[in-house]
Amino acid sequence: MRVKSLEISGFKSFAKKSTFEFGADISAIVGPNGSGKSNVAEALRFVLGEQSLKSMRGKRTEDLIFNGSKSAERQNRAKVTINFDNRDRTFPVDFDEVSIAREIHRDASSEYFLNGSSVRLKDVIELLASVHIGASGHHIISQGEADRILNSSAKDRRAMIEDALGLKIYHWKILESEKKLLKTEENMRQSESLRREIAPHIKFLKKQVEKVEQARTLRDELGAMYGDYLKREETYIKHTREKLHGEKETLERELHVANEALAHADSLRGVQTKESAEVAELVRVRAETGAVRRERDDLGRKIGRLEGMIEYEERRMNAPVEQHEKVVSAEEAENLAQNLYDELGYAEGSEDYLYIKGVVSAMRGKVGKFLEHIRGEQGAQGPSEAALKALDDLRNEHKTLLGSQQNLEDLIMGFEKKMRELEAMLEQKRTETTDAERASFEFRAKKQEITLRLGMVREHIENFARDEVAFREELREGGILVGRSILDYVNMAIEEEQALAEPRAEQESRRKKIERTKIRLEDIMGGGSGEDIMKEYEEAVERDAFLARELEDLKTSAESLRDLMRGLEDELGAQFKDGIKKINKQFGEFFALMFGGGTASLEVAIEKKKKKSDTDIERMLEGGEAMEAQEEEQEEGIEVAVSLPHKKIRGLQMLSGGERALTSIALIFAVSQVNPPPFLVLDETDAALDEANSKKYGDMVATLAKYSQLIVITHNRETMSRAGIIYGVTMGSDAISKLLSIKFEEAEALAK
């Protein structure tokens, strides 16, 4: 890779487009003072992306644009283009030629082009970095800057050397890692602070969650208590309901029966209070019996009389007897009289109209018959036909009467039987009346007792209804606290008998325990379900875990960044040491060549610097005094050790100006040779050299040109003589730099 050409237009004194073709290993630019040579080196810096105006001797962007002269208009833009030959593909792009251009305007806007396409500065820097070229790099040694490396501090010197050795990339990578580390540490702090922030919340939530868990346990306990209680209560209620209603029904039935029995007993009692039909019947039958008995007795007497009459007739028939008058036996008359007397006597003692009537009617009949008997009887004369007939009649009548008597006897017997029956019946009724009264009394008492018991049962039922209501209420309340699982109580295995056998007080104490648990539960939960808290807690814990993981990840990546940095530093250190070694070899050689002996070397010096610890800084930030710095930061710098031949000179400060320039050149060349840049611009680096040293310088330039393309700005004849191409820069009255390709001889003249 080579710099093929450089086009400058509007940049500083190059008002018009000027093109340098750098076809040789060494190109020299010569010209009088102030003609614009250094502007060429600056144009190179500029096009390679230099951002420091100072290093281009400007204060403002405008200073880089041709400012005009008496005879020339000022320009509004400056543009520099550098063309590289990339046939060897040093640039990792697939072009034979790579051109980079930069254009600026008076408004300070800046544009970059890569092969004509607009690109960003970053793209340019990256592309150049890939070939070890940087804007402020070591490969452009500005006028008077050669001994900058000697004038710098050990630390800066080290930076320069590192840059020249191409080790900047390590610093850049370390810096990147450091930035990442800082960012990572910042993130860690953020995560830690977030964790710290949420920690009390988690702690608070944890307590809440513990409460929720406690409440859950309590709820489970409550559920179990409820299960036991409700199952028992249901058994009790079912059983008690059946029992009470059974009792009620039984008592109601009993009451009904007692009522009926009482009504019956009362009705029986009522019958006995009136004159009974049986008594009337008995009186009637008795009267009738008396009448029939008397009739029978009459009939008996009548039969007796008839028998007497039959006897008499039979005797009369047997002895003739004259009968002229009616004969009435005394017995017959007495019988009648006696009969009347008795009957009427009975009637007299009775108040019964019917009975009296009966007696009167019977008496009339008897008197009538007696009259008939007296009147109808004819005196017989011998056993006449009539007499015989009369006897027959008597006998027939006797027979009839006997039949009637028998009938009456039968009738009497019937009456007597009837009377016995009636009397028995009356006797029974009397007994029954007493029984009914007793029964009435008993049933009344029983009714009272049943009514009393029924009242009690009804009261029980009423009280029990309250138990049922309480049961339902308990079930409802329990459902709210325990949830639907409250209904699982039905599956509880509790021996019914055992449940019913235990005293009611046990249930009551269970209920009280449930009540206490309910209160505790409500106390803990305040009525809430705790789901929200659980969720919030889980989320907070999850977030904390996430942060912890993140923190862990960050720690890991911080650690690996530190590892990476350590690795890079180690690598940098190793490469640096190796580079120093190589440089020293070249440095020593170039130095000895320039000075005709002596030694020179770079030495790594450790600078001890006091460093404030982080804790001190924190303390200071908090307003406190920093403690005496305790840590010492070690910094490796580069010292230049020289020893001139024949002179007892140690240390750079003792060198003359020329000696310093020689030493600088030896060092620059050594560094450039160890890590050759693609091209090297040397702006009057040789200015301070005497003729002998100029010769040596020329030799060194020639050596260096083997490794790097050289562009030298010089007044030095010797240097010019080494160049393949020489450009002359002149400036006329128009104050515009002009370019001309010239021969060595012309150059010499031009340079003077």
Give the interface with ligand ATP as residue ranges (CB under 6 A): 12-13, 31, 33-39, 63, 66-67, 143, 735
Closer to ligand ATP by Cβ: residue 106 or 180:
106
The residue (of 82 and 181) whose beta carbon lies closer to ligand ATP is 82
CB of 17 to ligand ATP, least distance (A): 15
The two three-digit tokens of residue 53, written as one number: 């105006």
Question: What is the C-alpha to C-alpha distance for residues 26 and 748, in angstroms, rounded to an integer?
Answer: 16
Is residue 366 a contact partner of residue 297, using CB atoms and an 8 Å limit? no
Output 36 or 678, the one with its CB closest to ligand ATP. Answer: 36
Angle 609-614-616 from CA coordinates, rounded to 5°: 85
Q: Cα(686)–Cα(715) distance, rounded to whole angstroms?
A: 8
Min dist. Cβ of residue 752 to ligand ATP (A): 12
Buried b (16+ CB within 10 A) or exposed e, 536-554: bbeebeeebeebeebbeeb
Judged by beta carbon, residue 56 or residue 600, the one nearer ligand ATP is: 56
How many CA atoms lie within 13 Å of 538's alpha carbon, on the beta-carbon side?
A: 7
Tokens of 74: 């000022």
- What whole-number distance in Å separates Cα of residue 134 and Cα of residue 379? 210
Could you tell me the smallest distance in angstroms from the CB atom of residue 550 to ligand ATP?
A: 55
Q: How far apart are CA 72 and CA 13, in angstroms?
A: 11
Nearer Cβ to ligand ATP, position 42 or 85?
A: 42
What CA–CA distance (Å, rounded) separates 668 from 358?
Answer: 191
Q: Are 694 and 619 in contact (CB under 8 A)?
A: no
CB of residue 592 vs ligand ATP: minimum separation in angstroms? 31
Residues 672 and 661: their CA atoms lie apart, in Å, by 16
Least CB distance from residue 711 to ligand ATP, whole Å? 13
Cα separation, 464 vs 374, whole angstroms: 100
Q: Report, in Å, the least distance between residue 61 CB and ligand ATP.
A: 11
Residue nearest to ligand ATP (CB): 33
Give whichever of 170 and 727 is closer to ligand ATP, judged by the CB atom. 727
CA angle 435, 437, 441 (to 5 degrees): 115
Residue (33 or 653) nearer to ligand ATP, CB:
33
Hey, which residues does 711 pair with through a beta bridge?
A: 27, 681
**Least distance (Å) between residue 93 CB and ligand ATP:** 32
What are the b/e assignments for 653-666, b being 16+ CB within 10 Å?
A: eebeeebbbbbbbb
**Shortest distance (Å) from residue 10 CB to ligand ATP:** 9
Could you tell me what percentage of the chain is helix, strand and coil, using 3-state DSSP and rounding each to the nearest 5? 65, 15, 20
**What sign does the dihedral 540-541-546-549 (CA atoms) show?**
positive
Nearer to ligand ATP, 43 or 602 (CB): 43
Smallest distance, ligand ATP to C-beta of residue 688, A = 13
Strands 725-731 and 737-742: antiparallel
Work out how close the CB of 12 gets to ligand ATP at its nearest, in angstroms, rounded to a whole number. 4
- Closer residue to ligand ATP in complex, CB, 12/168: 12
Query: Which lies closer to ligand ATP via its Cβ, residue 13 or residue 693?
Result: 13
Task: Dihedral sign for Cα 445, 448, 452, 458, please.
Answer: positive
